[in-house]
Amino acid sequence: MRLLEVDEINVSYGRAMVLHDISMHLNQGEIVFVVGRNGAGKTTLLKTLMGLLKPWNGSIFYEGEKTLGIGPVKLAQKGLRYVAQDKKVFSGLSVRDNIALAAYSNAVSMTEAITNVTSIYPKLNDFMENKAGGLSGGQRELLLIGRALVGHPKLLLIDEPTEGLAAIVIRDIFKILVHMKTENISAIIVEQNLSIVNRLADRIYVMREGHIIKEIDNSRQTEHSNELESYL
């Protein structure tokens, strides 16, 4: 049984139709990338998978169960996690409290949660008591991904993790994603950085104007940059 099965969903934002007949799937342990120009509907797709938006027809199956109407709360409890494009943290709370919320909802102890996050990003230990709003973009992304990994999730939905970040930070994120792969955590990642896409992807979906126009099998790790760039 596939971890995620998406069947011909259509999603609209207000009156504008944003996603048209989207079908895709994900197997356990796969890391799948979604690429495409801005406005192609990638963020809308992730939001819909997370239950923040409702498709008005079609269906989504997560672990064999229909997700329509379940909503993000229950989906998160079933192991789905979402890291948004705007890298929003709870800026009014401290870093520690940000992690505390994840620990609370996953019934995980604070020590375990903090170890979870700091093993990925050790430097965060220095910032524990600071307000999360003061973190830089890279620090936020690392906090968000670390927090998403609390409680042993099954599927991460990550929206443009490397956007706007310095090369050093991108390297750290890359390492985390590799680590996730070894832990058999699945992910659907929206990304514009093609070198990361090429090196990590099991499969790639190319989107344009609300449609998936191509599915690329990258399992043999061949160089697809040129092909990809032609689609973007």
Please select the residue that binds other proteins; options are 42, 147, 154, 203, rule is CB under 8 A: 147
CB of 186 or CB of 218, closer to other proteins:
186
Contact flag: residue 53 with other proteins (CB under 8 A)? no
Q: Name the minimum Å distance from CB 68 to other proteins.
A: 17
Vertex 144, ends 139 and 147: CA angle to 5°? 120
Contact flag: residue 82 with other proteins (CB under 8 A)? yes
Contact (CB, 8 A) for 201 and 32: yes
> How far apart (Å, rounded) are the C-alpha atoms in residues 213 and 19?
12
CB of 92 or CB of 171, closer to other proteins:
92
Contact (CB, 8 A) for 85 and 115: no
Of 89-97, 115-123, 172-180, 183-191, the window that binds other proteins (rule: CB under 8 A) is: 89-97
Q: Name the minimum Å distance from CB 170 to other proteins.
A: 23
> How far apart (Å, rounded) are the C-alpha atoms in residues 198 and 220?
10
Place of tokens 């169960």: 65
Contact flag: residue 77 with other proteins (CB under 8 A)? yes
3-class state of residue 91 by DSSP? coil
> How far apart (Å, rounded) are the C-alpha atoms in residues 79 and 83?
13
Q: Name the minimum Å distance from CB 78 to other proteins.
A: 9
> How far apart (Å, rounded) are the C-alpha atoms in residues 42 and 44?
5
Contact flag: residue 154 with other proteins (CB under 8 A)? no
| Interface residue list for other proteins (CB under 8 A) | 14, 50, 52, 71-73, 76-77, 81-82, 84, 88, 90-93, 97-98, 100-102, 104-106, 147, 151
